[in-house]
C-alpha cells in the first residue's frame, strides 16, 4: 500500500507544481479539471456517472463547477490537498484492496498526463518494486484495455518478458519499458516511448489504433 500512497503524494506534488491552468494530456482538461476529477472520483456519489449513463451529465456538470471554483491558486491548492488527504470513509477507494487495484495505474498515468503535456519531458526513473507492480496491474487489465484492438497485441519488456494482451492471427509486438507500455495501453500513444514489430499489414493497422477504456 505504501506505493499507492506515495503515488498519490507524487501526483499531488505534480499538480501543485504545475498550477491550476496548466495543460494536460486529458483532452479539454487543465490541471484544475484533473484535480476535480480525482476528488470527485473518490468522494462523490456522482462518480457512478462514469459507468451509469443517466448520471454522466450531472457528473460532468459537477466537475466543471468544481474546476471553475479552483481557478485561483489558493482554491486550487485546497482542492489538491483534499485529493492528497485520501478518499472519504464511505468511498470504495477507502478499502485497501480496491485502492491497490484501481489507483496505482490511475495515479501513475495522471502524473504523466501533467508532466508530458509540457514541451520537454523525460521518463521518470522508477524503482523495481514500483515497476513490477505497474506490470502486474497492466497485465491484469490488458484484456479490457486492448479488447477493441484490430490486431493481436503482445506487450514486451526490455528484459524479454512478454504478455499476450489479445490473441489474433495478425499480431504486433509493442516493446518498451513497463511505464511506457502502461501509458500506451491507456491511450497516451503519442506521448510514450515504445516500438512496434510485426507484419506490414498489422503495423499499418496499429498506426491508426488508440487504446481506450
Interval 118-133: pLDDT, tens: 888 999 999 999 999 9
Is residue 13 predicted with pLDDT exceeding 60? yes
Share the mean pLDDT of the chain.
Answer: 92
What is the reported pLDDT for 66? 96
* Predicted TM-score (pTM) above 0.85: yes
Is residue 186 predicted with pLDDT exceeding 60? yes
* Interval 155-182: pLDDT, tens: 999 999 999 999 998 999 999 999 999 9
User: CA nearest 206: which of 150, 148, 145, 138?
Assistant: 150
Q: Concatenated DSSP letters for 34-92? A: HHHHHHHHHH-GGGGGGT-GGGHHHHHHHHHHHHHTT-SHHHHHHHHHHHHT---TTSG
Q: Which has the higher per-residue pLDDT, 178 or 1?
A: 178
What is the reported pLDDT for 46? 64
Q: How many CB atoms are located within 10 Å of the residue 97 CB?
A: 9
What is the reported pLDDT for 49? 46
* Interval 19-47: pLDDT, tens: 999 999 999 999 999 999 999 999 877 66
Amino acid at each position: 500500500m505504501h506505493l499507492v500512497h506515495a503515488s498519490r503524494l507524487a501526483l499531488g506534488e505534480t499538480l501543485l507544481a504545475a498550477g491550476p491552468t496548466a495543460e494536460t494530456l486529458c483532452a479539454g482538461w487543465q490541471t484544475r479539471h484533473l484535480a476535480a476529477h480525482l476528488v470527485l472520483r473518490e468522494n462523490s456519489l456522482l462518480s457512478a456517472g462514469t459507468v451509469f449513463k443517466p448520471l454522466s451529465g450531472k457528473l460532468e456538470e459537477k466537475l466543471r463547477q468544481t474546476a471553475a471554483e479552483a481557478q485561483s491558486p489558493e482554491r486550487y491548492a485546497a482542492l489538491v490537498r483534499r485529493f492528497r488527504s485520501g478518499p472519504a470513509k464511505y468511498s470504495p477507494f477507502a478499502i485497501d484492496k480496491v485502492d491497490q487495484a484501481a489507483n496505482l495505474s490511475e495515479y501513475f498515468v495522471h502524473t504523466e498526463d501533467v508532466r508530458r503535456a509540457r514541451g520537454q519531458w523525460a521518463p521518470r526513473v522508477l524503482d523495481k518494486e514500483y515497476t513490477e507492480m505497474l506490470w502486474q496491474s497492466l497485465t491484469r487489465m490488458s484484456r479490457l484495455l486492448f479488447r477493441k484492438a484490430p490486431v493481436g497485441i503482445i506487450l514486451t519488456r526490455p528484459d524479454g518478458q512478454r504478455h499476450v494482451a489479445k490473441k489474433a492471427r495478425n499480431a504486433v509486438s509493442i516493446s518498451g519499458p513497463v511505464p511506457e507500455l502502461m501509458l500506451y495501453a491507456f491511450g497516451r500513444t503519442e506521448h510514450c516511448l515504445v516500438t512496434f514489430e510485426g507484419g506490414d499489414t498489422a503495423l499499418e493497422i496499429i498506426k491508426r489504433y488508440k487504446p481506450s477504456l
